[in-house]
Amino acid sequence: MADLAAGAVGTLLGAIREETKLLGGVRGDLQFIKDEMESMKSFLHHLNKKKRRGREHDEPVRAWMNQVRELANDCSDCIDLYRTRDGLWRRHGWWIPSFVLEMVAQHRAANRLQELKARARDVGERRARYGVEVPNKKKNGVGSLLLDDGDDEEDEYGYFHRDDAPAVITEEEEPRGRRRPREFLEARPLEDYLSEKLVEWWTEKINGGDKNNGIGMPSIAIVAPPKDTEAVTTAFDVVASLATRFEAMVCVNIPAMHPSHRRLQQPLDILLYMLLKLQEFQYVRVYSSSEVSNKEQEQDSIRQGYYIKKKQELVDEMTKTVIEMKVNTGVAKIKSRIKDIESMEELGLDMEGQSHSTQLLRLLLVALRLSPIYDWWGRILNRGEIRDKARSVSSISDDKEIIDKVARELGDEFGGYALCLHHTQCERILREVFFLSASSNTSRPSGGEEGNKIPDLDMATLGAQLTEKMDEMATKIEEQLEIKWTVDMIEEFLRTKRTLIILLDDQNYVCRWEETRDALSLLRCATDSAMMVITTKSIQEAKDFCHPPHKPIVYSLVDLYQYHDIVLKLITRHRQQHGNDEGDKYNPRIFHDILEKCHPHEFCMKMFAHALYANPNRRNEELRMLHGALVSSQKTLLDRNAEKMFMFSYNDLPKEYKSCLLYLAIFPQGQSIRRSTLVGRWITEGLLDYQDWANAVCQAERCFDGLIDRWLVLPVDIGAAGRVKSCMVSSQVHKFITKIAKEEHIMETHLPHHLARHFSIFSDLRLRGSNSIEDFLQQLSRSSRLLLFKMLDLEDCQCFKKNRRYLKDICNNILLLKYLSLRGTNVTRLPKEINNLHDLEILDIRETRVQVNATSNILLRQLKRLLAGCVDTSPRNYETHTTSVRIPYRIDKMTNMEVLSNVRVSKAVGQELKNIAKLHQLRRLCIVINDKEDHLKCLVQAISELHECLRSLSITLHPEDEGATSSKEPIDTRYFQSPMLLESLGINGVTKRVQLLPLLVPKGSKELAKVTLGCTSLDQDSLSIITAELPKLLSVRLRHKGYTQDRFTFRKNEFQTLNYFLVEGQNMTEITFEEGAAPELEKIGLSFTNISNLFGVERLPKLKEVELNGNKFLLSLFDSAHQIVKVTLRGTLLKEGDLHILAKKTNLRCLVLLDKCFKESRLNFKKDDFTKLNLLIINCSIISSIDFSPGSAPWLRKIVWSFAKIDSLGIKNLRSLKELELNGEFIPNGVKDTIRDHKTMIDFKHNKPQNQDHERGHETEKGEDIERFPLFCWKSRG
């Protein structure tokens, strides 16, 4: 409320400065009110800055601020009324009694000002009487630490507020005309991000430096929610999509392959299943991404029987090979040597101080080393060597060393040509036999171990115990030989193919993964292959699957990971560019903690990321307080977190931006709001405290971008140059700002919501819910208070055709209007009374049928924007027609004019153009002239005169009348000065008198970003020479006959910055993109063209979007453009089979089907179609049924369907669908049942068409007597 009160006071101070001379007789009273208001404004600003954010002011403070606002408004009204009535007398020609009437008006104004002076004095005294004071600073605790600078303040949630907070990223960081990098903040589809992280892991581990370090097969785990089969299947689809990076891909689905009643023997069973799948791959190229759900699970018992049979065949072959190794024979020989050692006296083997296990290992090492001293029949050749072997073993003191040496001897003993144990296998055997069985507390001995020590035993006892261990060791050796045989078979396959192995364990089959990991480490050639394990275990347990050690990827937290990466990247980028100016220690962990509390609420995470993007200068203390204010992620408390995160971003806004944001609450939720409309209305309402119009416009533009950057409003339409042209407010933000706006009295107008957007928020107008705009217009002549209206927006109101007096009543009764929009109405003429609106600054008559000459006699000295014209883009002749109105004859008197849109010059003379040359504040000019010498001369001269201010220029040339005899000589342009700041240029038409394009766009123009050409008849060379080297060119549109040749080539190194290319018309048939041309091109639009060849489109690395209109054969031109992400179709009249070109594009994420794009009423998505589609938007009236077959659009998350009629909606097979928005009148019960019965929780919205404001409402306010109360009334201000 303090912001609104301060705004009202600021408006009053500006009016006083302007009218002091006019009200000379009451100058003293004005000076007192001025001084009092300045003091109050300063106090309001201080009070607002010291308010605890998140809390409202105390009731006495709120009451006092409301009184200040009311007083300021009344003072402004008094001055406006005097000024208006004086102007009325003089305009109506009452010159004789004007002096007397002026004296009477001054007397009345003086009396009224004296009353207001007394009120001002009383309001000032009331502040002291009721103790309205600035809150004191906190003296201790955390508060004193946070408020030392005197400018930052925290609210009850611990949020900081800075009145000097930056509005948006500075222009130095984002050059004018460039696309703002908001896409950096957009979360990508889950499968894209997950795929990227997996590729990143694989590249890092395999190609980054671990490739030849003996890590074996690298593996990573993807953790899916328990009992969530859809999540498991989705994770599998993502992992399987990486198969293109490998030469082979197999899926080992343990639950599908292994009988549930049998115990899984690890690691042998897992290795055998892997081998089976690898062998199967050699004969049949498995797998579609839906194998898990469709093949293995549907035919569980059949496939399990198949695998049991195949597995047994492998086991038989493996057993045969192991038997041939004669392990028992080898163990028997070792036992025999042990007996020989027992029989020897004074062996010399030192066992003193060693553990029992170590003593046995020493004895075993002696026995293994005796092999060379036996003959063929097993007789000892030299007993003296036994003592030598024993002494050499006695010198080994380290347990790790003894294990290593025994393992090497054991490998040599049981190694063969066909099969050989690996050293690590031998070590594992020894640990399991001699240590795990001896002590449950020790699995890996270390040097100097003191545990498990026993007194020295005689050699006979040790020999007997070791002999018993040999039977156990024989079993272990055979097990490891089986594993080694299986690993060798797997390695034989992996040696020839880089393979991706997917292991599915969604029923917790796999345990003791360490054994399997050790077995996989035996694969010597597997570093180019990879294993990805999809499991439902906990995160901690899933870590065991990751090798080398790595944090597992949790499927349910992928969005959290993604936003954390976004936040870290933007913070790091900011600190690299600007450094840590605050000197605060950087702690990136706090960002993860905040996002973790926000999860799974994407609104909170996205709002946080955008808040940091808009203002990265956040201190750790501030972030810690935000973290403490957020609650843990419980579904019942998500709305609370959303409100806190909204307030975190809202409180960081400059005070003017807050008022501008709250202003949006008067618009219906979900309504698209044009940027230009908001900028004009914000300024008119006085929400931006700038007296200078140009600075106010600049600040309003920055405010709009600031709200977009913070995601407080959402972009709807983005122009070719990256400029957001319209926006909307999301449902959550609309709820929050509506609540605050009511508390701040911005929505205190007592207007029905469908009417509120038409009037000023300070109008104090009251209407009933049953009223319409026409009811309001009918009563205009009966109320004098309408005189104070500043803004009236009648867009799309269709009530002027039969009642032309309505517009005349507006001009006669609402004399202080600054903003009048008649856009889209059925107005056909402007009354001469329009000149009564002396304060009018914006007049919008676009998309109306106003006659051409209706504006000829307009004289509005304060007018800054005259917006006219209606664009007709009908495809009858493939041309674009724009209606226009006449330039006012006295346009030179309107020196404040900034925008002249769609105005034309009279046929007779070009005097209007000479007058336009005097408008040195003109920034945008859209003009229609005739191809006449005097017109062209005057236009060239006017543009040259305005070369320092024009930023946007559009010229339409009408051909000269037949039979005209004017000269065809060239126009003299020797002294012409090209517009220095021109950003947008449009030329429609051609003349032989002057070459407009090279004249207006000199080579290397620094600011030009957008070029639109129609009927200019340019060829390849003339177009390329001018536009190919513009350093900031983002958009080129070639409309009908803008280019005359049938072929156009984007040559190498040309159009290096181009983002958008549009072609309209039938003359062009071929487009070629050479290598290196247009590397930044993101969007191509083809509309009603005859283009039959499009070469090199696959060479455009950044091409994302294609828009086609009017020809279904255009689709075939993009067969090779697999990089396309979004396709928009309009007027293509496709049949069901025509979508196959798009259906197989692997990167297509968004499909937009607009009017007349489809020829049939039923839209059917077939199996394996649109495998990556995320968003489907349909606004085609002929489509009434949509059906998705099983396996189609598996990643589709959101559908927006605007329908005229809906018969059916088959979405039961869409496992990923999260949002469904239906826009239309009636939804059949069958469709509602389908939505309700969907297996996932869908966020469903049904938006019915809103009643037009010109129609009478159907709701009557409760307790309101229509006959007793007037149609509308005014709130009392006293």
> 871-883, pLDDT tens digit by residue?
655 544 445 556 8
pLDDT classification of 283: cutoffs 50, 70, 90: low
Look at 58-72, 141-155, 228-242, 372-386 and tell me which has the smallest mean pLDDT. Answer: 141-155
If one compares 284 and 832, the residue with the highest pLDDT of the two is: 832
What is the model's pLDDT at position 125?
63
Neighbours of 386 (CB within 10 A): 22
- Residue 45's pLDDT band, with cuts at 50, 70 and 90, is low
Q: What is the pLDDT of residue 333?
A: 84
CATH number of 2-136: 1.20.5
Residue 218 has a pLDDT of 86
Domain ranges of the chain: 2-136, 216-324+498-550, 328-412+421-476, 749-850+1256-1278, 861-1000
Rounded distance between C-alpha atoms, residue 1197 and residue 1251, angstroms: 30
pLDDT, position 766: 77
Taking only the tens place, the pLDDT of each residue in 1080-1133 is: 999 999 988 888 899 999 999 999 999 999 887 888 888 888 889 999 999 888
User: Cβ atoms within 10 A of the Cβ of 573, count?
Assistant: 13
pLDDT band at 1274 (very low <50, low <70, confident <90, very high): very low
Mean local confidence (pLDDT), 1065-1082: 90
Provide the pLDDT for residue 84: 55
pLDDT of res. 70? 64
Q: What is the pLDDT of residues 973-988, one digit of tens each?
A: 888 888 989 999 999 9
pLDDT(153) > 50: no
Say yes or no to pLDDT of 267 above 90. no
Give the number of other CB atoms < 10 A from CB of residue 566: 24
More confident residue, 1137 or 1167: 1167
Residue 248: strand pairing partners: 499
Q: What are phi and psi of 85, to 5 degrees?
A: -65, -40
Predicted confidence (pLDDT) per residue in 401-440, tens digit: 888 888 888 888 777 666 788 888 888 888 888 876 554 4
pLDDT value, residue 177: 41
pLDDT of residue 1150: 93
- List C-alpha distances in Å: 548 to 246, 498, 666, 820, 839: 20, 19, 57, 69, 74
Please give the residue that has the higher pLDDT: either 336 or 300.
Answer: 336
Whether the CB-CB separation of 436 and 340 falls below 8 Å is answered with no
Q: For residue 1108, what are the β-bridge partners?
A: 1086, 1129
Which residue did the predictor score with more confidence, 1038 or 342?
1038
Please check the confidence at residue 1253 and state whether its pLDDT lies above 60.
Answer: no
Between strands 1272-1274 and 765-767, the pairing is antiparallel
pLDDT at 138 over 50: no
Give the global pTM: 0.79
Q: Over the chain, what is the mean pLDDT?
A: 77
Is 70 exceeded by the pLDDT of residue 144? no
Q: What is the structure's pLDDT at 373?
A: 52
Which of 173, 83, 1247 shows the shortest CA–CA distance to 672?
A: 1247
pLDDT of residue 126: 60
Q: Say if CB 1189 and CB 1164 are below 8 A apart.
A: yes
Count, residues in the chain? 1278
Label residue 893 by pLDDT band (50, 70, 90).
very high
Q: What is the pLDDT of residue 26?
A: 56
pLDDT surpassing 50 at residue 293? no
Contact residues for 478 (Cβ-Cβ < 8 A; gap 6+): 322, 327
**233 φ/ψ angles, rounded to the nearest 5 degrees:** -65, -40
pLDDT higher for 384 or 859? 859
Q: What is the pLDDT of residues 533-553, one digit of tens each?
A: 888 777 877 888 888 888 888
pLDDT tens track for 198-232: 888 888 776 655 544 555 788 888 988 877 777 78
Burial of 9 (0-12, 13-18, 19+ CB in 10 A): buried
Say what the pLDDT of residue 899 is: 94
pLDDT exceeds cutoff 60 at 95: no
783-818 pLDDT, tens digit per residue, is 656 667 889 999 989 888 878 889 998 998 888 899
Q: Which class for 1236: exposed (0-12), middle (13-18), buried (19 or more C-beta within 10 A)?
A: exposed
The fraction of the chain above a pLDDT of 90, given in percent, is 24
Q: Please state the rounded mean pLDDT for residues 153-157.
A: 33
pLDDT tens per residue across span 1038-1058: 988 888 888 999 988 888 899
Which whole number is the average pLDDT over 161-174?
36
The dihedral built from the CA positions of residue 489, 494, 499 and 501, taken in this order, carries a sign that is: positive
pLDDT range class, residue 294, cuts 50, 70, 90: very low
Check whether 1012 has a pLDDT greater than 70.
yes
Using the predicted structure, report yes or no on whether residue 737 has a pLDDT greater than 80.
yes
pLDDT of 521 strictly over 70: yes
Q: What is the mean pLDDT of residues 605-617?
A: 91
**1055: number of Cβ within 10 Å:** 22
The average pLDDT across 1222-1238 equals: 91
Least confident of 447-461, 480-494, 575-589, 1260-1274: 1260-1274
How high is the pLDDT of residue 988? Answer: 92
Residue of 873 and 919 predicted with greater confidence: 919
High-pLDDT (> 70) share of the chain, %? 72
Q: Is the pLDDT of residue 154 over 60?
A: no
pLDDT at 295 over 50: no
Confidence bin at 678 (pLDDT 50/70/90): very high
pLDDT of residue 1260: 33
Given a cut of 60, whether residue 141 has pLDDT beyond it is: no
Would the CA dihedral through 508, 511, 514, 516 be positive or negative? Answer: negative
Supply the pLDDT for residue 102. Answer: 57
The per-residue pLDDT for 442 is: 40
Q: What is the three-class DSSP state of 249?
A: strand
Q: Which amino acid is at 298?
A: E
Whether the predicted pLDDT of 848 surpasses 70 = yes
Q: Quick one: pLDDT at residue 610?
A: 93
Strands 1083-1087 and 1060-1064: parallel
Task: Give the mean model confidence (pLDDT) for residues 298-322.
Answer: 78
